[in-house]
Amino acid sequence: MVGIFKAKLTAPDIKAKAKALGADLVGIADGAAMDANPPDPANPQRPSDITDLDGKRVIVLARRLSDGVARIKAWGDRHKYYNDEIALTMLEETSLELVYWLEDQGYPAIIIPPTHTDPWNYEGDPKQHMTPLLSMPHAAVEAGLGTLGLNLQIITPEYGPRVVLTAVLCSAEVECDSPRTDALCLGPSCGRCLKTCPADAVKHWDRDWPACDEYRSPYGFAKLSGHIEKIIEAGTPEERRDLLRSETTFNLWQSILRGSGAITGCRRCADVCPVGEDYELMLKAALEDIPENTPDKETRLSEMLGAEQAGQRAPGEVQQIRWIGRRT
């Protein structure tokens, strides 16, 4: 067998190319380290579950989300969905161009999108929380791009959580980045993600994912199948027709057309996070006040803070400490 010609590549070569193609942030994780440290051992999502051959490196690309739509406070505003979907589409194109470039250098490569889930894990319940083939936030931490926050969202020093992520697998044996050691999240003493969350899904270093899914994918598969069921079960032809012509059907159609509202949705927790160089300059004046906050949310944050000050660590923090980082 004739081996594939491989050009000599370095990590800076790959990063410079990815940035020239449009990525805002690039890091390179060690596939073996990700194999050895699955974020959820019960559902490991390892590079080696995707490829035995081309997963020695996980190149994580980030594109920033626009601050203009972050400044719109309504979580369900369609401008937010649409702008984020375009950012993701552009990042996917960047990833594809990087794959072609790597392959031209002799390194077969694979894009791992943040949105596709493993159909073999689907158990017939449209509301079941589905996970992608690799956890992008965890991959981003392994690639040195940031750390996880109170609700396990990725936080970067440059843009806070206001990024979309993709990964490219390949086996170019270039130098890897290391995870950051110190946490970027300010923890329950900040808690702005919890205060704003319309689903009340932010927990103590954890997230109620099914509750979040209703908002972060408001016109996704669960909504589509539920709406079709309503149409099928409607009592009269007139009710069926009205449901068919309803705003929900219209929104579902738009989401199928563009993905906005299905693969993008609520991101209020990211908008209000004070971490990131962009926050002070672009967002603070518009987002300082959090209208969704309640006395009950304040009480829960105080309890979390009190427990931490008493030296107790939440189970979520213990389990995710590698990716949350050291807290001072």
Q: For the range 100-104, what are the long-range contacts, defined as Cβ-Cβ under 8 Å and sequence gap of 24 or more?
A: 101/17, 101/21, 102/14, 102/168, 102/170, 102/172
Q: Which of 81, 159, 205, 215 binds ligand SF4 (CB under 6 A)?
A: 215
The answer to whether 66 and 163 have CB atoms below 8 angstroms apart is no
* Angle 157-160-294 from CA coordinates, rounded to 5°: 140
Q: Which of 87, 111, 134, 190 binds ligand SF4 (CB under 6 A)?
A: 190
Q: Which of 91, 165, 273, 283 binds ligand SF4 (CB under 6 A)?
A: 273
Indicate whether 151 belongs to the interface with ligand SF4 (CB under 6 A).
yes
What is the Cα–Cα distance from 177 to 33, expressed in whole angstroms?
11
Indicate whether 325 belongs to the interface with ligand SF4 (CB under 6 A).
no
Closest to ligand SF4 by CB, 144 vs 149, is 149
Which of the ranges 80-88, 138-146, 273-281, 313-321 carries the binding residues for ligand SF4, by CB under 6 A?
273-281
Closest to ligand SF4 by CB, 108 vs 157, is 157
Indicate whether 212 belongs to the interface with ligand SF4 (CB under 6 A).
yes
Beta carbon of residue 188, minimum distance to ligand SF4 (angstroms, whole number): 7
Beta carbon of residue 317, minimum distance to ligand SF4 (angstroms, whole number): 12
> How many residues make up the chain in this entry?
328
Indicate whether 199 belongs to the interface with ligand SF4 (CB under 6 A).
yes
Indicate whether 98 belongs to the interface with ligand SF4 (CB under 6 A).
no
* DSSP state letter for 280: I
Closest to ligand SF4 by CB, 136 vs 201, is 201
Give every CB contact of residue 258 below 8 A, 6+ residues apart in sequence: 82, 85
Q: What is the dihedral of CA 216, 219, 220, 223, to 10 degrees?
A: 110
What is the Cα–Cα distance from 279 to 269, expressed in whole angstroms?
13
What residue type is assigned to position 1 of the chain?
M
Q: Binding residues for ligand SF4, per CB under 6 A?
A: 75, 149-151, 155, 185-187, 190-193, 196-199, 201-202, 207, 212, 215-216, 266-269, 273-275
